Chains A and B, each alone.
Chain A
Amino acid sequence: MRINHSFILTLFAALLVSCEKNSEIKVYRVSKAPLEQSGPQQQEMMPTNTAAPRMPGGLAPAVQTAVTTPPNWEPQPLSQMRQASFLVKGDNGAVADVSFVSLGSAAGNVLENVNRWLGQLGQPPITEQKLAEISQRLHTSLGDMTIVDLAGLPNNADPARDGRIVAAMMTTPDATLFFKMRGNADLTEAQKGDFLKWVAAVCDAQTQTGSSQTAAAPQPQTTGDVPPIKWTTPEGWAEVPPSSMRYASFSVPAEEGGKIDISVVTFPGDGGSDADNINRWRGQMGLAPVDANAVTSGVASLQTGDTTFSTTDIAGNKTRTIAAWTRRDGRVWFFKATGPAAAVEKEKPKFVKFIESVRF
């Protein structure tokens, strides 16, 4: 009996020591990370993959009950990310999934998300120009929503459950709101009207219930607690309406085609490290990130009146970005010009004068 025990123990010990840690491929699911890795507002948004119970700008609980949904929309259990979820059933087993997700304000721009949805439908990505052609606006009490209607069936997908996405997206200063209906193409088409009404109703209810984070309309940041600043607009720069994220926008046509996009953006806080921001801009230009030393050597100071700006000049293959930023009074201000390399080179003196003219 004792002999058997000895052998069992020997075998057990041998089995134990033959285990190798961390040698297997693991598969798991995590909450979706915002597409943009390190936006200037990262300190204010929930970070990627967090298991926090509520995302910023989340749907106020009262809103769930205040909005009437079509009778054939069956409420579904909510996940960590979803603040509203419904299943719509049609004829012949057709279904569509309706969801409302709220992420941090740096959860990618419209084009990135539309291309992600196109990827889900097995379709190739589109350009900004094409997006402008296919997208529509839906006016809500929270501001204008971008609406897209995308069709396509991925390989091996069930046409009863997939084939079309109707989505509405909006970025507020605190959150990015995604409303989405995905499912059978015919059913999604039939439900599109109800879906858009529901989107508008949710936004209205959100405003009425005074949800602290999404109630603010995505107006340009020239209102509220953002202090006004002044500058002299250089000759040839056309002011364009700022988006919800921008304090001001300018556009300069380039001789070789295209245009230079000049933006003024401000955020509370320090807006992240210089390395994060520069590497994000490099990523937007298709360039590899650089280490902290390279970032430091690529940043120069520019003294204007009582303000010191940090500046950088990033040259890509065909595009170029010049940027200046400064931190004062608990806010960070970014001034950035991006466009075709030759055109940016030509506009650089004007950009420098523009920065020198800024008065806080």
Chain B
Amino acid sequence: MPNPSIVSLFRRTAAVAAALCFAVVLRGQDASPKEEGGRQYSFYTFWTPQSQYAGYILAEQDGIYRDCGLDLKVLHYDGTPSVKMLSDGKADFVSLTLLDALEARNNGLKLVNVFQLLAGSSFVVVSRKGPISTLEDLKGKEIVTYRAFNPTLKKEITRRLDGDVSIIEVYSCVEVFLCGAYDYLICTSYNELFEIEESGFDITRGNVLRLGDTGLDIAEDGVYALESFIKANPDAVDKFAEASALGWKAAEADIEHSLDVTLHRMEINHIVRNRYHERKMLKEMIRLEGEGSDFRLSREQYEKAASLVGEDRTVKVPYKTMVR
């Protein structure tokens, strides 16, 4: 699932500008996939560099991909959606949330899950108007969230609340929430939740509701590639999965080193960086991976998400087809 901006408007815009500059550089370096045999592969993240991608960045920076026999370049969000990067053949691997991937598959793009990072949902609802403990507490409320919030999830929340809720997608949702324009905010637990807390908002157990606790524990970040690519480059896909898993394990084993690498990547991409924030983000990502994760999307996780997608809410693409 794409993780649209959660950072402040300022931060996001700066990141976009930096990413654009970065993209220009990349174009100069010919970021398109190379041919088999000495070919360089590419992996595109659906947002700018941050600890959300710490394992991949570390695997690239510390030569884990190379050691696994894969020449891989990690590309970061440059304003182009991941799905488009994949469909245009500009990236061999892209990061997406499961629901975004399923929607893309329904729309005809034959992408396949080759690596699963987050086994559950990272979404939380934050309240500035007293405690919330169930989804029902949001009935009749206006909830602000970021632009391009996953429509399937938005629809499912609305459905569960009998349509008695309004989810408004805005730019700078954190600023809007912090200044009191809205009383409820849907955001990720690994980024915006920390961001609003770091701005001075008091986060308590009572004013935060995890969607995962409300029956909407949908798997999120994963890595996808086209069926055709996988068929043509099965070894590369396997090596990518293996090396990415090693990268995340390495990040978990040495968080401070991983932060050094990630922050350096953010710096050269002119991204606003904050070690404290990135540390918390990385730890939350590791928590959301699930203990003892094999970085594979389970059938249960897949079917739970797939059953939400589409008007008829049925699994249209079999698990074996969608998940390698």
| A complexed with B | no
